[in-house]
Amino acid sequence: MITNRVLILSDDLAVTDTLRMYLEAEGLRVDSIDRKDKGLAMYEEYQHDLVIIDMTLGDCDIIDFSARVKEFKDTIVMILTPEDKQKGIALEVVKKAKDQIEIKNIDELMFIIEEQLRKHVKSICHRQENGIYICGDLRVDMNDLKIFVNEEERDVSELTIKLLVFLIKNQESYQSKKEIYQKVWNNPVSENDSTVMAHIRNLRKALDDDDVTNPKYIHTKRGVGYMFKCSCCEDL
């Protein structure tokens, strides 16, 4: 499960507290700050998935702030404005008491946030670029033959990693033990089922994928073979 982190940049405590309450109720981690310079420093530390900027914040050049954020990663930037929807998402705010407000269109706002985060997570949780394959918490360096789970490098043999790379390159397609042995072990005429099965077991252990009835990555079909499938975004 990927937990999104949100940064609220606003000097209106009532707006911040109300948004935090709703966002945290959705299971999101929320940070807030009331100054642009501190907001950038906090973003550099945590690299949030979503930044919500209150347009009324006096010291914030929104265009400049958004550009600085995008230098780090493809983060969603949402702008809250009290009036003009063309410039952002208008907040329908009703004052209830000192430091207490009601955001009348909070359901609409939360729907937009959830949709944006869903699309964002789906775009980042399964991708391949420059020889690096990413599926959720799994990262495979196919150039240097290294495996990381939750940013922790796993100690497995080079052949086991080559096996994983082969399955990734042929993902969502079952490969027989014979095909695997001939391609990974570079032996076009032989087969060795026990060797392949041993490396599959080692691979599953390295990926924390031991539950064969509900696999995260390595799927098995008896009499057919093995398949790699990234399932981290199927419910998004």
Nearest to 62 by CA among 41, 80, 83: 80
Sequence-distant (≥ 6) Cβ neighbours of residue 92 within 8 angstroms = 103, 104, 105
| Confidence bin at 200 (pLDDT 50/70/90) | very high
Break the chain into its structural domains and give their ranges: 5-124, 127-228
Mean pLDDT computed over 92-106: 62
- Average pLDDT for the chain: 83
| Confidence bin at 207 (pLDDT 50/70/90) | very high
The number of C-alpha atoms within 13 Å of 134 and in the hemisphere containing its C-beta is 15
CATH topology of domain 5-124: Rossmann fold (3.40.50)
* Helix (H) or strand (E) segment spanning residue 219: strand 218-221
Rounded Cα gap, residues 227 and 168, in angstroms: 8
Structure letter (DSSP) for residue 121 = H
Higher per-residue pLDDT: 3 or 60? 60
| Confidence bin at 202 (pLDDT 50/70/90) | very high
68 residue type, one letter: R
Q: Which CATH architecture has domain 127-228?
A: Orthogonal Bundle (1.10)
So what's the pLDDT on residue 221? 94
pLDDT digits over 8-24, tens only? Answer: 999 888 889 988 998 99
Query: Fold match between 5-124 and 127-228?
Result: no
Nearest to 20 by CA among 28, 3, 179: 28
Res 1 pLDDT > 50: no
Rounded Cα gap, residues 30 and 51, in angstroms: 10
**Cα 85–Cα 31–Cα 89 angle in degrees, nearest 5:** 5
| Confidence bin at 85 (pLDDT 50/70/90) | very low
Q: What is the pTM of this model?
A: 0.54
Mean pLDDT computed over 118-143: 79
The percent of residues in the chain predicted with pLDDT above 70, rounded, is 83
Higher per-residue pLDDT: 236 or 110? 110
| Highest-confidence segment of 58-67, 91-100, 110-119, 170-179 | 170-179
* Residue 141 DSSP SS3: strand
Nearest to 50 by CA among 22, 79, 25: 79
